[in-house]
Amino acid sequence: MPDLKYDVLGIGNAIVDVLARAEDDFLARQNMNKGGMALIDEARAQAIYDAMGPAIEISGGSAANTIVGVAGFGARAAFVGKVKDDQLGQAFAHDIRAAGVAFDTAPAADGPSTARCYVLVTPDGERTMNTYLGAAQDLHPADVDEDAVGGAAITYLEGYLWDPPRAKEAFRKAATIAHGAGRQVALTLSDAFCVGRYRAEFLDLIRTGTVDLVFANESELKSLYEATDFDTAAAALRGDAKLAVVTRSEKGCVVLSKDGSVSVPAAPISKLVDATGAGDLFAAGFLFGLARGRDHRTAARLGVLAAAEVIQHLGARPEVSLKTLAEKAGLPV
């Protein structure tokens, strides 16, 4: 087994989030599915940008947010994702490295611009996302470094990678390398609409053991099994997956394994400002705990703590030290 270089290595779409507040009627006028993620082309991206209100730009991307969170707990973290060598790409690379994450993927010199996601946040804190994948679609199996993946305790993959074909190949290559090195592979289902597009393939990844750990929220879980009842879908996932965690917003989360299920309540918050990144940061805490050998309940408590931090401000990355938060909560880091 190679020497352990990283606690968690994430592979995902390298995206810059463009966030703005919006009312529900704006979403309706723009034909957006509230709470979902739609893939858009460059023309649609420009039209949304022109129509939306004042915006802020923050480096994002689901797996990238998670890996920044892992680093925020004090872990050794790395990220693989494709940007173009343009202004947004340089900003993404700067931000993720400044967060203490190793980021060595070579930027694209030509082709489409760096990916961006237009995130509309309604007054109830729900986020609706419109993603132009741009350069992120050009993530290639050659971008997956065997030594880096083999040296990571857990390789974390986002379901959104299933959209670009070559990124899907990179995903499979990484899983093969990780398992060959005796490491674990985790997958987040990312979005209920994403699950709808790739339900059979995701179930195959879970049932064949290509992934060892699955993250889902309640709507993704129900979409995966085309179920209306949470308990029925959770029982099905428990039967299929080696280990799974389902987040349930204000109800906290449920950890499902062959040994049974563990429920952990949500951490208290002062006010829900922006739900963007809640699942990403939950995964960060859980992955950190798992990589450090914590039990499932402790890992879940680290997850709900990180999720609570990120939903109390705009943006999908923490604004304070997660390590310090965990220490104050009496959790091991």
What is the tens place of the pLDDT at every residue in 124-180? 989 899 999 999 989 999 999 999 999 999 999 999 888 888 889 999 999 999 999
In this prediction the pTM is: 0.92
The residue to which tokens 């950190």 are assigned: 288
Q: Which has the closest alpha carbon to 108: 17, 14, 39? A: 14
Q: Are 299 and 215 in contact (CB under 8 A)?
A: no
Q: Enumerate domains of the chain plus CATH numbers.
A: 6-12+65-109+135-328 (3.40.1190.20)
How do residues 9-49 score in pLDDT, each as one tens digit?
A: 999 999 999 999 999 999 999 999 999 889 999 999 999 99
Check residue 205 and report its DSSP letter.
H
Residue 2 has pLDDT above 70, yes or no: no
Own/partner pairs for 170-174, CB < 8 Å, 24+ apart? 170/11, 170/80, 170/139, 170/140, 170/141, 170/143, 170/144, 171/11, 172/210, 173/141, 173/144, 174/11, 174/80, 174/144, 174/149
Residue 1 has pLDDT above 80, yes or no: no
pLDDT digits (tens, 9 = 90+) for 308-323: 999 999 888 899 999 9
Tell me the mean pLDDT in the region 184-209.
Answer: 95
Q: Which amino acid is at 323?
A: K
- Distances, alpha carbon 145 to alpha carbons 114, 153, 195, 213, 238, in Å: 21, 15, 27, 22, 32
Q: What's the pLDDT at 199?
A: 97
